[in-house]
Each structure stands twice: as structure tokens, then as C-alpha cells.
Amino acid sequence: MGKIAHDQHLPAIAGNADIELAATVSRSGESVNGLPFFRNVEELAASDVTVDAVALCTPPQVRHAIAMFCIEQGWHVFMEKPPGATLAEVAALDEAAKAKGVSLFASWHSRYADGVEPARAWLADRTVTAATITWREDVRVWHPGQDWIWEPGGFGVFDPGINALSIATRILPKPFFVETAELDVPSNRAAPIAARVAFRDTAGTAIDIDLDFRQEGPQHWDIEVRTDAGTLLLSKGGSVLTIDGKEALSHDGDLHGEYPGLYARFAEIVRAGESDVDVSPLRLVADAFLRGRHVTVEPFVE
């Protein structure tokens, strides 16, 4: 029950008629709206509270064991992004969910930004000639005091960067892969504070990403795609769509529609008896770490 749970998950659950909040679990904190509150999922399972599904909003490093326990209880599992600290543990959860007959949802909230599906449709019948992704934000503003993000498995600047990749893997017509990567790692941290990655798609088109956690002033969450029939720009994390300099769609609300969209999708896959576990954004991040040259930079002190 951290910041994202309070800011996004609780309002989205409250606005979805298919889902009722039954209880909350956290190592610290207190009850929400007087509902049952537990320190861990084991306490929840041992209680008399009836649970059909859980939403896990923990850091990725500790999520696998919690998710596996929940699957064993026969609960459907919604996982915040990124779905795990490694690809192998997500694959293990996927197999366990299939064996138990429950739904597993690896959520990517940025894919539900207002401009993403219109951008995907516009690009579908065009030839991409180049793409540039700029994702620069101030870690002190968006992740204050979150030391886990700097630990192994915490992703560093790839925690927001994977949001950009979740959009890019959705809207770009062809798969793409890492060619080179350069990761700036503070001398007192284990995860990168900035990164530059060069991708190439299966048609040979260059796709570049620039990530930086040190951005002050205006924040940048932009994806520009140049094609044989014009230029598309997704800005503000996917909420504003511009084509050839003309605004085609805009919404200024913070994460407008993203988490309601996620919970609608979760209810949909539970009803259908399916899972939705796309690891393509996580795979690209893992490959960036595999291919990346680490550059030691000045210490980061919050």
C-alpha cells in the first residue's frame, strides 16, 4: 500500500463495478476505509476474508514469492510493472498460474494512455524510417526515498524507461532488439541513473532511447516516430498525440484512464479464464543490461 496503490489503484478499483476491495496488505500502514488489514498475504490467507484476486504493488525484487503464494491459494494475480526482477521468475509464475487455472496479469499502465491505440492504428500501415524516445524525469520528484530502485533488480532509470518501452513495443509495427547500450551508474549505487540504448527493428530501422533520472525543470516523456507518410509524436507519456505538428488527441490528466483501463482488462481476462503476460518490455531492459557498457558517474545523494 505505497504511493502508487493509494494514488492510482484504489481510485481505479472504486470506479470498477466488477471489482470490490475486500482487504489490504502492507508491512506498515493501516486499514483503508475500515476494511480488514493484514501485515502479509499469509495472514490474509489464514483469515476468514474471502478473496478472489490480488493486486501486487510491491517492488519487483520481492514480488515473485508473494505472487507464487497467491497463485497457490487459487487467487488471480495482477502485478504492477515491471512484473518481476527477472524474466525467469515471470515465466515460472506464468506456468504456475496456468497449472492452477488462475489468471495472471503483467500490467503495463503506460499502454493505456489515451494516445497509444490511436498511434498504433496510424502506424500500422506506414513504413517507419526512424524513432527516437526521450524519457527524462527527476527521480527526487517521482521516487523520493525509494532506495529499492537503486538496488539490483530495482531497474534504476529503467523503472520509468520500461514505461516508454511498453508503449514502443505496442505501437511500432515490427519487433526490435538491442544493438548497443551505455549505462551511467552512480559510484554509490547499483542501478543506472541514465542510459542510452540503440535498437534496430527487423527491417533494419534505427530506434534510439535516451533515459535520464537527473532531469530538472520540464520533464520529458516523448516518442517520435518518423515514417514514409509523416511524423508522429506521442508526448506527456502517451497522453498527447501529434501528427505532422498538428495535435490529434490530448488529455492533461495525470495518468488519465491508465489504471481504470488496467482494471477493466484484469476483469476481462478473469472472466475469460485467460492470462495476459507480455514480457517484451522487460526482455528489452534485460538485453540492455546484457549488452550495456557500464560507465561510473558521480555519486547520487538524495
pLDDT tens-digit profile of 148-204? 999 999 999 999 999 999 999 999 999 999 999 999 999 999 999 999 999 999 999
Burial 217-230 (b: 16+ CB within 10 A, else e): eebbbbbebbbeee
pTM: 0.94
Distance, in Å, from the CA atom of 5 to the CA atom of 8, rounded to the nearest integer, reads 6
81 is catalytic: yes
Domains and CATH numbers, the chain: 3-108+258-277 (3.40.50.720), 110-252+286-297 (3.30.360.10)
Point out the catalytic residue in the list 3, 81, 174, 246.
81
Residue 253 binned pLDDT confidence (cut-offs 50, 70, 90): low
Strands of the sheet with 53-56, listed across from one edge: 53-56, 76-79, 104-106
Residue 257 binned pLDDT confidence (cut-offs 50, 70, 90): confident
Q: What angle in degrees, to the nearest 10, is found between the helix axes of 87-100 and 63-72?
A: 10
Model pLDDT for residues 111-137, shown as the tens digit of each residue: 999 999 999 999 999 999 999 999 999
Least confident stretch, 97-101, 183-187, 247-251, 270-274: 247-251
What is the pLDDT at residue 256? 63
Residue 183: name the closest of 174, 191, 175 by CA: 191
Distance, in Å, from the CA atom of 72 to the CA atom of 50, rounded to the nearest integer, reads 15
What is the pLDDT at residue 255? 56
Mean pLDDT value of segment 29-40: 92
Mean pLDDT value of segment 225-244: 96
85 pLDDT exceeds 80? yes
302 pLDDT exceeds 70? yes
Q: Is the peptide bond before 60 cis (omega within 30 degrees of 0)?
A: no
Residue 189: name the closest of 165, 142, 154, 228 by CA: 154
Mean pLDDT value of segment 87-102: 98
Positive/negative CA dihedral, 250, 256, 257, 259:
positive
Phi, psi of 251 (to 5 degrees): -150, 125
Q: Report how many helices (DSSP H) and strands (DSSP E) the chain contains, helices first.
A: 10, 14
Phi, psi of 64 (to 5 degrees): -55, -50
State the average pLDDT for the chain: 95
